[in-house]
Structure 1
Amino acid sequence: MTVDSQGAVTSAPQDPPGRAAQSQDRTPPPPTGPKGARRPPRGKRSLPGGLLPYLLVAPAVLAMAVLLLYPLVRNVVLSFQQVNRKELITRQAEWIGFDNYTQLLGDSQFWTVVLRSVGFTAANVVLIMGLGTLIGLLLNRLGKRMRLVLSLALMLAWAMPIVASVTVFRWLFDEQFGVANWLMRTLGFAGYEQHNWFETGFSTLVIVTLLVVWGSIPFVALNMYAGLTTIGTELYEAARMDGANGWRTFWSVVFPNLKPFFLITTFLEIIWVFKAFAQVYAMNLGGPDRGSETLPVFAYIEGQGQAHYGLAAAISVLTIVMLIAAMSFYFRLILKQEEEQ
């Protein structure tokens, strides 16, 4: 509102409130043209969204293909060929199809080795899982100092090289100076003057079982203790208030919470024990009279000892098939468990 020279009052035109606010908040547009256009920084071009993960895993996949896939394919091809000493010298392998597999499946010695391997694996896995679980529970109950001492002892046993541990066990069960014979005589047992603990294949596998169990328990025990630390104390307190004893607490609290741990650890132990070679071969070379051979040792002796390389390749392929069958059972359990969740 303004006053003119004659005293008349006039009102000046005013903008609407909304338009006035818009005119105050309006900012000039950015400059256009080549100078105002944004350009991506040089040397930083983004990859397609789905390509980066494959590039990251490509080195590992390539290494596995070179170190694992190619030898596996060559081994499968070799199992369909006749490669003995003659073919190895002349470098002319004969393609015989499934003859190696037919010979193995019709050989009673092969099935004896298969049954021995299955029994050896079952005995070891049961002992490893049982004793490893008990030691893991013990670690969870011990104080800090004793837990540290026991953990260090387990780690030392786990870190022991296989050949060195086999040498120690052969000394323990030596005929003349072994600790085992001395202990049996000290306890009053007769017939242990220079007793040969490696006289039969069964006794040899018993000693190998002690070695394998001793070396495998630390893995199960330490992982068991790590799994127990994830279970809340309130669950134990609730079970204690309900009057559950230790055995009932294990089956109602520990086992349901650590069921995935027991599944994966059990099947890992099955694979490791079933394909154990160094412990069995270094202990007594698969003897006496090939009475302690398992499938890996059987394949090695047929290949390197008897120069039946095609037959040995077929044995190794059948061993892999058995392990795949066991793993398929494991994967079915995992899928069933995921569906239940």
Structure 2
Amino acid sequence: MSAQTEEAAARPASRTGKGGAPPAPGTPKRAGRTVPYLLILPAAVFTVLLLGWIMVKNGLLSFQNLNRRQLIRRTTEWIGFDNYADSLGSEEFWRVTLRSVVFTAVNVTLVMVVGCLIGLLLARLGKRTRLLLSLGLVLAWAMPVVAATTVFQWLFAQRFGVVNYMLDRLGWHSMADYNWTSGQFSTFFVITVLLVWQSVPFVAINLYAATTTIPKELYEAAALDGAGVWKRFTSVTFPFLKPFFYATTFLEVIWIFKAFTQVFVINEGGPDRLTETLPVYAFVEGMNNQHFGMGAAISILTIAILLALTAYYLRLVLKQEEDEL
């Protein structure tokens, strides 16, 4: 028997296909690449059917003149882009848009600062204290939005509110019967406190989880170099957790910008519609004023503005990452 025959007989059977032929090159790789797509296919199909159909119906509605008259007569009046033109040409729309952007920026900044401070505090606490604080954060985060908003309405109530009672006992007697929803800034203050209270647990717990992945040797080296708390944060923690900060800020921008329940339930966009953000503005125009086509157009424009803001933010993030490479 020749050497070549012995080498062929010694080959593992797993490397030969049917009838001794080798398998087609690249077949396992192709199968491995398609498995992730097959796994997410059911969720993708369900998402498209659930959300895509609603978006299509809302988009079609935005091209119609649909008011009480059309509902009674059951008629469809197609008016093209008139709803979009009226919205974009309205001074009120741009005033609400600017208000929504400022409102989002203020809330996201507060959420990230407070959430990061609490997350760093969790990393420095003992096990029992950390467990108690984490439990409180989880309970605050898990509370239903409507229930939490109702609690805050009671806390800031004019006559029997806990906040007014405590301020009165502390010496601010003029706050005993203060109406927190009587002005624009005071109403926004209540809404901001509520949103920050609901959003901080997500940031704090995720930041604490991310800090556990940082090697302790880096902190020990920074301490040997004489770095203080702020220096250790800027030289070790922040550079290591930059992806976390980028992703969390991105999610918080979406969460705050689209917040509807908190803003509407506190005072329904009042007083005098001065605390309406874009989601509330679309609802009031569509449902309360029964301009359903206009409300649909405003909602589509709201989505477009949110996509533009997030695209601009992602562009800044990607550009900064490219500069660091």
Q: Aligning the two structures, in what range does the TM-score lie when normalised by the shorter sequence?
A: 0.7 to 0.9
Report how far residue 207 of structure 1 moved: 0.1
The match for 2:23 is none
The match for 1:315 is 298
Cα distance change, pair 97–194 in 1 and its aligned pair in 2 (3 A): same
1:211-249: CA deviation from partner (whole Å, max 9, x where unpaired): 000011000000000111111111111111222111111
TM-score by length of 2: 0.88
Distance 1:175 1:299 in 2: 29
SS at structure 2 position matched to 1:94: coil
SS at structure 1 position matched to 2:202: helix
TM alignment of 1:198-237, pairs within 5 A: 198-237=181-220
Give the alignment partner of residue 151 of structure 1, picking from 124, 134, 155: 134
Report how far residue 203 of structure 1 moved: 1.1
1:82 aligns to 2:65 (yes or no): yes
Cα distance change, pair 25–259 in 1 and its aligned pair in 2 (3 A): closer
Greater displacement, 193-202 / 50-59: 50-59
SS at structure 1 position matched to 2:171: coil
The match for 1:182 is 165
Distance 2:56 2:206 in 1: 35
TM-score by length of 1: 0.84
Distance 1:25 1:172 in 2: 84
- 1:76·1:314 contact (CA, 8 Å) conserved in 2? yes
TM alignment of 1:118-267, pairs within 5 A: 118-267=101-250
1:56 aligns to 2:39 (yes or no): yes
Distance 1:102 1:23 in 2: 81
- Larger gyration radius, structure 1 or structure 2: 1
Report how far residue 90 of structure 1 moved: 2.6
Report how far residue 190 of structure 1 moved: 3.3
Give the alignment partner of residue 305 of structure 1, picking from 273, 288, 312: 288
Greater displacement, 86-95 / 280-289: 86-95
Distance 1:292 1:37 in 2: 76
Structure number with the higher helix fraction is: 2
Runs of 5+ consecutive residues of structure 2 not aligned to the other structure: 10-17, 21-27
1:156-205: CA deviation from partner (whole Å, max 9, x where unpaired): 11011111111111111111111111112112123223221111122111
The match for 1:68 is 51
Distance 2:301 2:8 in 1: 79
Structure 2 counterpart of 1:172, one-letter code: L
SS at structure 1 position matched to 2:173: coil
Structure 1 counterpart of 2:159, one-letter code: Q
Aligned pair count? 309
- 1:263·1:330 contact (CA, 8 Å) conserved in 2? no
RMSD value over aligned CA atoms?
2.6
- 2:158·2:164 contact (CA, 8 Å) conserved in 1? yes
The match for 1:32 is none
1:22-51: CA deviation from partner (whole Å, max 9, x where unpaired): 999998xxxxxxxx969xxxxxxx9x8365
1:116 aligns to 2:104 (yes or no): no
Distance 2:263 2:274 in 1: 11
Identity %: 55
The match for 1:294 is 277
Cα distance change, pair 289–52 in 1 and its aligned pair in 2 (3 A): same
- 1:140·1:225 contact (CA, 8 Å) conserved in 2? yes
1:276-309: CA deviation from partner (whole Å, max 9, x where unpaired): 0011111111112212111111111111101111
Distance 1:223 1:275 in 2: 22
